[in-house]
Amino acid sequence: MSLPSASTLATLRRETAGRKPAAKSLAVLADPVFTDDDTRVRRDLGKAVAQSKTRSPDSDETDVASLQMTTSGRETGVIGAEGGFGRLLSTRREAAAISALVPEHERMRALDFEASRTTALRPELGEYRIVHFATHGLLNNVHPELSGIVLSLVDKEGRTQDGFLRLQDIYNLKLPAELVTLSACQTGLGKEIKGEGLIGLTRGFMYAGAPRVVASLWKVDDLATAELMKLFYQGMLKEGLPAGAALRAAQLELSKQKRWASPYFWAGFVLHGEWK
């Protein structure tokens, strides 16, 4: 378990004291659409339209944001966009496995184009006790405000759209969830500020109202992460374990499987925030 700073823990405990739990159990955003050649993009567009790469109304803003967030190199500090954003097929299996653990009326599952920045910014997300993102993460350890979560970057017609949930967006969320899980690469990193620890996505979600955030320390394996998350949520939702105990139990269980025995596959995720 980890905390950005002792002051953060004090703030979390003060703001969550006596807070009424959210009415519903689980919201999952997974398997977004990143490219216009994805098989989920509509194929009934005219050839000329497809060749002209139709743009959505906010595409100018998206182009600037994409450049800021994905330009890699020593000066920018960006990590995670070097090879573009490929589809993470196991995130769909992950979403199905953890969603099945709660009744349908207590869950929300946003997949494909619905796994979007628009969905993430809706106030309805605050109605769930656990919010789970299964997608790519983008880290900027020089300018942490440009770090973010990558959601659908094109719409159903293949037009580009703003799919980056940036740190500034996260700070502005009203998200009184008990737990946010960032099932993505390097989401637990950030820029270290003396006296305050790491400034990054975990701090943003805590500021938004979540006392606990599960995030990763390195570029995690897609399939192994899906297996780990299934065990983690079974521990919480079926066995009634606290988040920290459930994560530890899931990691120990995965480490016993020959295929996933290396710590690379199971040790990357850490619980940040309130451990009680």
Residues in the chain: 276
pLDDT one-digit tens code per residue, 27-40: 999 999 999 999 99
The mean predicted confidence, pLDDT, of the chain is: 81
Spatial distance between the Cα atoms of 226 and 224, rounded to a whole number of angstroms: 5
- The three-state secondary structure class of 37 is coil
Spatial distance between the Cα atoms of 173 and 216, rounded to a whole number of angstroms: 21
Supply angle C-alpha 228, 232, 234, rounded to 5.
120
DSSP string across 148-191: EEE---B-TTS-B---EEEHHHHHT-----SEEEEESTTTT-EE
Structure tokens at 55: 């743009």
What average pLDDT does the segment 243-270 reach? Answer: 95
Where do the domains of the chain lie, and which CATH numbers do they carry?
A: 6-273 (3.40.50.1460)
Confidence label for 45 from pLDDT (cuts 50, 70 and 90): low
Q: Is the pLDDT of residue 54 over 80?
A: no
Spatial distance between the Cα atoms of 184 and 40, rounded to a whole number of angstroms: 21
Q: Is the pLDDT of residue 48 over 50?
A: no
Which of 210, 151, 130 has its CA nearest to residue 30?
151
Which pLDDT score is estimated for 20? 84
The contacts of residue 134 (CB under 8 Å, 6+ apart) are 28, 29, 30, 31, 88, 91, 94, 95, 183, 184, 226, 229
pLDDT one-digit tens code per residue, 103-150: 999 999 999 999 999 999 999 999 999 999 999 988 776 777 778 899
Print burial letters for 192-227: b (CB count within 10 Å at least 16), e (below 16).
eeeeebbbbbbbbbbbbbbbbbbbbeeebbbbbbbb
Which of 63, 62, 64, 67 has its CA nearest to residue 78?
67
What average pLDDT does the segment 71-79 reach? Answer: 37
Which pLDDT score is estimated for 187? 57
pTM: 0.81
CB count within 10 Å of CB 60 equals: 11
- Per cent of the chain over pLDDT 90 is 54
Confidence label for 197 from pLDDT (cuts 50, 70 and 90): very low
